[in-house]
Amino acid sequence: MGMGMPLAVGVWAFDVLESALFTLRAYLILGSSDIPAMSLVMQMKGHNGHAPCCMCEIVGVRIPGGHNPCHYMPLDCNKLPLHQHDQMLSQAHEVQSAPNQTSAEQLALKYGIKGVPLLSYLPSMQFPASFPYEFMHLIWENVMKNLVLLWKGEFKGLDTGQESYELGKNTIPSTYGASPPNVTTDRMACTADTWSFWTLYIGPVVLRHKFTKEKYYKHFIDLVKILHVCLQFELSADDIQTVCRWLERWVLSYEEMYYQHDPCRINTCPVTIHALLHVADSIEATGPVWTSWSFPIEHFCGQLQPVIRS
């Protein structure tokens, strides 16, 4: 923020070719991070909030009488009204201007907004359009990891319920090609790059005919097909609509297979599953997923870490 505002107003710079001063301006238009960091920057309540989504106005439902902080977000793909910039800031100012702490907390619970985001003072930033769901963390660090945990029977102590999607302990092989880490036994060594390569190229081969029912494999392959479209360098308006429709169907099938409409299995529906319904919105607002994902900065941090000394 300290640099953003002066650069938006303009700073003096020297044009060597013209031998003249000119006003240089730079505008921050996009923010990208995982969901907890994005919630912090946007001053949202976050993934365990009553209104957990940073993109739309959906309200979560708690299990009656339960102690689980996870909210279920009713799955109606036709009722996902997106947040609007002016309305979000109006609600944020209402929370921040509340007469007392109790009123502020009640309003924050209602709106899912804790206060006025610092970046909202930059006229180039739009809420929530400037903060898309970041694809690398959403898919490779959350959705795929959770799917593998479900297939292994190790997802938050849940069994398979009325379904039979669990795989044997030694079903998911470990090494192909350049010896990627074993995604079942060495998850700590699996980077987003590893998960991406495994999901797109290894998983479709090694998981074929491994499930007791073909529908689980087909559901996984449907996700792979969607990801290949999302990863295109350019996407047309028709491509975005295709992503939207396919992800809606995929999330519906996911709930039938893994959530099974059983309140005791609410943990299978974190906000990252709901966020898939906004991937198309994010692409439409900010461009293809590669324009805002975290791979470049993660690679830079990976290069920087070995040279850091105490």
pLDDT above 70: residue 215? yes
| Co-location of 68 and 157 in the same domain | no
What single-letter DSSP state applies at residue 168? P
Given this model, what pLDDT does residue 178 score?
Answer: 46
- Judge whether 259 and 163 are in contact, CB under 8 Å: no
pLDDT above 50: residue 3? yes
Give me 205's structure tokens. Answer: 């081969």
Q: Please state, in angstroms and rounded to a whole number, the distance separating the CA atoms of residues 169 and 199.
A: 18
Residue 281 belongs to some domain of the structure? yes
What is the count of structural domains for the chain? 2
Considering only residues 91 and 61, tell me which one the structure prediction assigns the higher pLDDT.
91
Which one of 121, 156, 180 terminates a domain? 121
Q: Please state, in angstroms and rounded to a whole number, the distance separating the CA atoms of residues 86 and 151.
A: 43
| Co-location of 107 and 160 in the same domain | no
| CA distances to 5, 10, 55, 94, 124 from 119, in Å | 9, 17, 16, 17, 9
Residue 180 belongs to some domain of the structure? yes
| Co-location of 143 and 258 in the same domain | yes
Given this model, what pLDDT does residue 134 score?
Answer: 94
Residue 25 belongs to some domain of the structure? no
Computed over every residue of the chain, the mean pLDDT equals: 88
| Co-location of 152 and 292 in the same domain | yes
| Co-location of 268 and 176 in the same domain | yes
Given this model, what pLDDT does residue 189 score?
Answer: 67
pLDDT bracket for residue 15 (50, 70, 90): very high
Residue 219 belongs to some domain of the structure? yes
pLDDT above 80: residue 282? yes
Q: Which domain holds residue 170?
A: 135-307
Residue 28 belongs to some domain of the structure? no
| Co-location of 110 and 143 in the same domain | no
Length of the chain: 310
Residues 131-141, mean pLDDT to the nearest whole number: 94
Calculate the dihedral angle through the C-alpha atoms of 272, 275, 276, 278, rounding to the nearest 10 degrees: -170
Given this model, what pLDDT does residue 144 score?
Answer: 94
Beta-bridge partner residues of 82: 56
Give me 24's structure tokens. Answer: 């240089």
Residue 68 belongs to some domain of the structure? yes
| Co-location of 176 and 274 in the same domain | yes
| Co-location of 117 and 149 in the same domain | no
Residues 190-213, mean pLDDT to the nearest whole number: 91
| Co-location of 204 and 275 in the same domain | yes
What whole-number percentage of the chain has pLDDT above 70? 90
Residues 168-190, mean pLDDT to the nearest whole number: 57
| Co-location of 108 and 140 in the same domain | no
| Co-location of 208 and 298 in the same domain | yes
Given this model, what pLDDT does residue 88 score?
Answer: 94
pLDDT above 70: residue 99? yes
| CA distances to 88, 165, 188, 287, 299 from 141, in Å | 28, 21, 11, 21, 15
Segment among 141-145, 163-167, 188-192, 282-286 with least mean pLDDT = 188-192
Residue 8 belongs to some domain of the structure? no
Q: Please state, in angstroms and rounded to a whole number, the distance separating the CA atoms of residues 198 and 190.
A: 10
Instruction: Give the pTM.
Output: 0.86
Which one of 80, 97, 121 terminates a domain? 121
Residue 302 belongs to some domain of the structure? yes
Which one of 88, 121, 154 terminates a domain? 121
| Co-location of 154 and 272 in the same domain | yes
Given this model, what pLDDT does residue 41 score?
Answer: 92
Residues 112-128, mean pLDDT to the nearest whole number: 92
